[in-house]
């Protein structure tokens, strides 16, 4: 009856109290036609994966500004794999030193967005990642 | 396969099954039909009220209270879809973080996708599915409701209407629409000094009502401060009292039937509305031209009505 819309979970991982960027991105994805579930600040990997499962999202979007990405992202990916979320796209945005990008991608992060990324670029890359990883043609 | 896993309690299977149902896939609809053979047992509670009234925070408290009382709780959160992009920003779950880590809690957000009235056909389908999967308390949060968003009344057993102090006087409480549909009126943020005025206004409206309340139940008023978890236990007690009331009068099954009639109506509307949108889109140039030339608008309506009929 209706075409699948991309469903995205946007959350802040770890001890990091700044969520303006996460909200701006969540809103941009809404404007790009996606259905965005926003769960806010100071989430544990366990909480994020639980919400991602119950909501059956196509994408988990993590905002992280604390500098702890190399410690926390592996914990999140471990939890995702243990719970069977192997086909869910994982994107990370925030203050990430460029030299850490290859490391994150090697861990299993699909896209990394740095400050200055355009909102158009973010939504286009997410659509492409969903189409290739989830194997679905999406409505936007 | 997916259904068996979902029935065994596998959360990922439940979640993926719900997606197939909300998108009307053949597999989803077949499984929904299977689940509806088992559904009809859950107590379904609707929480409605204006945006920002604290519905989500209140539901967060309700989840814990029901879990403590030994229930399996399913929650459906409806948030609006954009009329422009069709996207949605769903922020209800932010008030419930961690609640889903408790056993026997399943929370699902769904965008309204063009449905008006505060609930949607898809949301009612998800209620049936969760009911069939064995959740015995199902809470549905409507979109932040306006005065006429009253569809929820025919979709649930118990309606809780959330009001907050400072949003209107007696006149608002006397109006038709949402202030008539509550089985329970919840005054949230009751630590606000104006809470007493709101209480008196709602009480006056209830005391002076000449209409017969739904099924003879006199609506109750409960004060809560959801963010501090105050009044939640009392609210659940009142919900239980209402449940016992409708059960004792044999109305429980009637409400399930009403819900399914509503679902049918909403699904039917959806089909017709799709045709209307299609006809308008296909004839937009002609319609615009006629309107510019100030031709007979009602004649135009009849003309388009015939076009709609030709698609039926």
Confidence of residue B102 (pLDDT cuts 50, 70, 90): confident
Tokens of B139: 């809470």
Phi-psi region of A116 (alpha: psi -120 to 50; beta: other; left: phi over 0): left
Residue B126 with chain A: CB contacts under 8 Å: none
CATH no. for A3-138: 3.40.50.280
Using CA atoms, how far residue B199 sits from B54, B164, B210, B242, in Å, is 17, 10, 19, 20
Confidence of residue B197 (pLDDT cuts 50, 70, 90): very high
| Helices A69-82 and A45-55, packing angle to 10 deg | 40
A residues 99..128 contacting B (CB < 8 A): none
Phi-psi region of B24 (alpha: psi -120 to 50; beta: other; left: phi over 0): left
pLDDT average, residue stretch B200-229: 89
Ordered per-residue pLDDT tens for chain A, 140 residues: 467 899 999 999 988 888 899 999 999 999 999 999 999 899 999 999 999 999 999 999 999 999 999 999 999 999 999 999 999 999 999 999 999 999 999 999 999 999 999 999 999 999 999 999 988 777 65
Give B241-269 pLDDT, tens digit per residue. 999 999 999 999 999 999 999 999 999 99
Q: Which one has a higher pLDDT value, B307 or B114?
A: B307
- In the beta sheet, which residues pair with residue B90? A37
Model-wide pTM > 0.90? yes
Contacts of residue A66, defined as CB under 8 A and 6 or more positions apart, other chains included, come to: A14, A15, A16
Domain ranges of chain A: 3-138
Q: Is residue B131 a contact partner of residue B155, using CB atoms and an 8 Å limit?
A: no
Instruction: Give the model's pLDDT for residue B293.
Output: 87
Of A30, A46, A83, the CB nearest to B87: A30
Nearest residue on chain A to B17, alpha-carbon basis: A56
Give the closest residue to B91 by CA, choosing from B115, B109, B113, B73: B109
> How close is the nearest chain B Cα to the Cα of A29, in Å?
8
Confidence of residue B97 (pLDDT cuts 50, 70, 90): confident
Phi, psi dihedrals of residue B89, rounded to the nearest 5° = -110, 105
Instruction: Give the model's pLDDT for residue B238.
Output: 98
B81 by Cβ neighbours in 10 Å (0-12 / 13-18 / 19+) ranks as buried
Phi, psi dihedrals of residue A109, rounded to the nearest 5° = -75, 135
Does this complex have an ipTM over 0.85? yes
Give the closest residue to A95 by CA, choosing from A86, A104, A106, A87: A104
pLDDT average, residue stretch B271-292: 93
3-class state of residue B192 by DSSP? coil
Instruction: Give the model's pLDDT for residue A1.
Output: 45
Nearest residue on chain B to A5, alpha-carbon basis: B87
């Amino acid at each position: 009856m209706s075409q699948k819309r991309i469903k995205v979970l946007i959350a802040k991982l770890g001890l990091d109290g700044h969520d303006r960027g996460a909200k701006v991105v969540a809103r941009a994805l809404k404007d790009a036609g996606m259905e965005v579930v926003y769960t806010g600040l100071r989430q544990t990997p366990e909480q994020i994966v639980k919400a991602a499962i119950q909501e059956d999202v196509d994408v988990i979007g993590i905002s992280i500004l604390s500098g702890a990405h190399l410690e926390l992202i592996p914990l999140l990916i471990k939890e995702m794999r243990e719970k069977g979320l192997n086909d869910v796209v994982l994107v990370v945005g925030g203050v990430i030193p460029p030299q850490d990008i290859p490391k994150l991608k090697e861990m299993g992060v699909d896209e990394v967005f740095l400050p200055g990324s355009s909102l158009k670029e973010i939504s286009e890359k997410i659509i492409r990642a969903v189409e290739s990883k989830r194997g679905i043609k999406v409505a936007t | 396969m997916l259904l068996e896993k979902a029935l065994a309690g596998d959360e990922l299977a439940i979640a993926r099954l719900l997606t197939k149902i909300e998108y009307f896939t053949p597999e989803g609809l077949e499984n929904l039909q299977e689940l509806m053979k088992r559904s009809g047992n859950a107590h379904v509670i609707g929480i409605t009220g204006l945006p920002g009234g604290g519905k989500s925070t209140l539901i967060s408290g309700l989840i814990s209270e029901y879990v403590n009382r030994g229930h399996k709780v399913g929650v459906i959160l409806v948030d609006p879809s954009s009329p422009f992009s069709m996207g949605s920003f769903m922020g209800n779950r932010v008030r419930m973080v961690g609640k889903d880590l408790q056993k026997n809690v399943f929370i699902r957000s769904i965008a309204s996708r063009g449905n008006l009235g505060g609930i949607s056909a898809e949301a009612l389908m998800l209620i049936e599915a969760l009911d069939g999967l064995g959740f015995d308390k199902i809470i549905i949060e409507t979109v932040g409701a306006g005065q006429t968003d009253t569809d929820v009344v025919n979709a649930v057993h118990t309606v809780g209407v959330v009001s907050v102090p400072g949003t209107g006087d007696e006149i608002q409480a006397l109006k038709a629409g949402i202030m008539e549909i509550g089985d329970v009126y919840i005054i949230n943020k009751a630590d606000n000094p104006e809470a007493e005025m709101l209480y008196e206004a709602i009480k006056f409206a209830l005391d002076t009502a000449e209409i017969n309340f739904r099924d003879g139940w006199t609506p109750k008023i409960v004060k809560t401060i959801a963010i501090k978890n105050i009044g939640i236990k009392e609210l659940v007690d009142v919900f239980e009292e209402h449940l016992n009331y409708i059960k004792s009068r044999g109305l429980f099954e009637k409400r399930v039937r009403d819900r399914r009639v509503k679902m049918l109506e909403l699904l039917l509307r959806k089909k017709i509305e799709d045709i209307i949108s299609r006809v308008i889109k296909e004839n937009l140039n002609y319609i615009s031209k006629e309107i510019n030339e100030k031709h007979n608008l009602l004649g135009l309506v009849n003309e388009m009505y015939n076009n709609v009929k030709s698609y039926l």
